[in-house]
Structure 1
Amino acid sequence: MNIVSAVDQLRLPAAVLWDMDGTLVDSDRFWADAEQQLYMQYAPDQSSAAGNSIPPDVSRALEGASLSECARVLRESGVNLPAWEIIEQLVSAAEASLTSQPIPWADGALDLLRKLAALHIDSVLVTGSPMRIVRHVLAAAPAETFGPDNVFAITGNSPLPAKPAPDRYLAAACMAQADIRDCVIFEDSSTGLASALAAGAGAVYALTALTRSPAKADARYQCIQDFRGIAVQALLR
Structure 2
Amino acid sequence: MTAHRILDWSPAAIVFDCDGTLMDTERHWQDARNRVFREFGLKPPAGFAERAKGVHYTECGSLMAEATGKPDLTDDMTHSLLQHFTALVAADPVTMPGAAALVRLAARHLPLAVASNCPLDMVESSLDRAGLLGHFGHIVVAGDTLRPKPHPDVYAAAADLCGVRPQDALAVEDSVTGIDSARSAGLRVLGAGPRPAGRGADRVDLWVSTLGDPELMAWANTRIAMAGPPHE
The interval holding the TM-score normalised by the smaller chain is: 0.7 to 0.9
For 1:16 and 1:72, how far apart are their aligned partners in 2? 31
Residue 84 of structure 1 and its aligned partner are, at CA, apart by 3.3
C-alpha spacing 1:193/1:234, structure 2 compared with 1 (3 Å): farther
Which structure dedicates a bigger proportion of its chain to helix? Answer: 2
Equivalence for 2:228: none
Contact 1:138 1:146 (8 Å CA) reproduced? no
Distance 1:60 1:138, change over 3 A: closer
Instruction: Look up the match of 1:62.
Output: 52
Residues 119-177 of structure 1 deviation map (CA, whole Å, 9 limit, x = unaligned): 1x122111111123112133233464101xxxx11124453111111111000111111
1:177 is paired with a residue whose SS is coil
What is aligned with 2:13? 15
| Gap change, CA 1:144 and 1:40, over 3 Å in 2 | closer
- The amino acid that maps onto 2:170 is V
Secondary structure class of the residue paired with 1:56:
coil
1:5 corresponds in structure 2 to none
- Greater gyration radius: 1
The residue type paired with residue 29 of structure 1 is: R
Change (3 A) 1:171 1:60: same
Tell me how far apart the structure 1 counterparts of residues 49 and 179 of structure 2 sit (CA, whole Å): 18
Indicate the SS of the match to 1:203: strand
Partner of 2:140: 154
TM-score, with length taken from structure 2: 0.81
Amino acid across the alignment from 1:168: V
Counterpart residue identity of residue 30, structure 2: A
Alignment-derived partner of residue 133 in structure 1:
122
Between the two proteins, what is the percent identity of the paired residues? 25
2:208 is the counterpart of 1:224: yes
Structure-to-structure mapping, 1:153-172, within 5 angstroms: 153-172=139-158
Name the SS of the counterpart of 2:191 in structure 1.
strand
Listed as ranges, the gaps of 5+ residues in structure 2 are 1-7, 225-232
**Offset of residue 26 of structure 1:** 0.5
Separation in 1 of the partners of 2:122 and 2:133? 18
Tell me how far apart the structure 1 counterparts of residues 14 and 39 of structure 2 sit (CA, whole Å): 39
Displacement of 1:220 in angstroms is: 4.7
Aligned length: 209
CA contact (8 A) 2:179 2:204 kept: no
Change (3 A) 1:158 1:12: farther
Relative to structure 1, is the Cα distance of residues 60 and 43 closer, same or farther in structure 2, using a 3 angstrom cutoff?
farther
Runs of 5+ consecutive residues of structure 1 not aligned to the other structure = 1-9, 48-53
Counterpart of 1:124 (choices 96, 113, 117) is 113
Q: Aligned-residue CA RMSD in angstroms?
A: 2.3
In 2: Cα distance, 1:31 partner to 1:142 partner: 21
2:100 is equivalent to residue 110 of structure 1:
yes
